Structure 1
Amino acid sequence: MGGIKILRSLVLGAALVLVLCLFSGCSASPEAKKGDYIISKEDQRILVAKNISKKDSENKTFADFRKNNIELINYIVEDTQLYNELRVGEKVNVTPKTNDKGEYVVMESDPPQIIAGQIERLKDD
């Protein structure tokens, strides 16, 4: 009988450790996954906040991003159909449009404006 109690205690202890690991991993993962998110759209431009969480993209304002020194870039989207399909809150990877020398132009505005070359729409992790 004593062996069964020890075995039961070991199984319960292992199950408890497993459950704690699963819960701690699940609660940490949404915040840990960061990326570049569209936070607004206007006049054929998308405003992208760099290296933020999905939660921040949904809950924070332009002023919040500015106050926290989050990098913001206005990308000019030349493809009207793509522009119309893009949504605020969408995770993207934008590559600037370059010339023959591999250079791209950054317009001196605040936030800066760059013509988008390729926009990769990413799935949230």
Structure 2
Amino acid sequence: MLRKLVLGAAVLAICMLSGCSASPEAKKGDYIISKEDQRILVAKNISKKDSENKTFADLKKNNIELINYIVEDSQLYNELRIGEKVNVTPKTNDKGEYVVMNSDPPQIRAGQIERLKD
């Protein structure tokens, strides 16, 4: 019993020192904040709460990286939801390069879209 208590206290101390947190605010990621014309607008490295409450203007003002990904798979596009956490890998050419269209926010063709759990 004492051994389990000491082990639990050690794990808790390590967690506190390393900065881990059970708070949903601490878990940041890339979230879909809008969908339109086969494109998903993704805000990078934000909290779930910010993805639900912040406007495009708020995110832009706070210098949050925003990228429009063009989703070529219509079925996948229809399944994706605003507020969903994703990891998007850009589509590349034969040289391993991807094209960033000069717009604000920039547009990139999505290669793979991984849907993540919060």
Shared fold (TM-score, shorter chain, > 0.5): yes
Correspondence for 2:107 among 89, 105, 113: 113
**Matches of 1:73 and 1:51, distance apart in 2:** 12
Say which one has the larger Rg: 1
User: In the alignment, what sits opposite 2:29?
Assistant: 35
Identity of paired residues, percent?
91
SS at match of 1:114: strand
- CA offset at residue 56 of structure 1? 0.2
**Matches of 2:49 and 2:84, distance apart in 1:** 12
Gaps (5+ residues) in structure 1?
1-20
Describe the superposition over 1:54-91 as per-residue Cα deviations: whole angstroms up to 9, x where unpaired. 00000000000000000000000000000000000000
SS at match of 1:116: strand
- Compute the RMSD of aligned alpha carbons: 1.1
Describe the superposition over 1:6-55 as per-residue Cα deviations: whole angstroms up to 9, x where unpaired. xxxxxxxxxxxxxxx9xxx54xx211100000000000000000000000
Q: 4+ runs of 1 displaced by more than 2 Å?
A: none
Instruction: Give the TM-score of the pair, scaled to structure 1.
Output: 0.77
User: In the alignment, what sits opposite 2:81?
Assistant: 87
SS at match of 2:68: strand
**Matches of 1:41 and 1:77, distance apart in 2:** 10
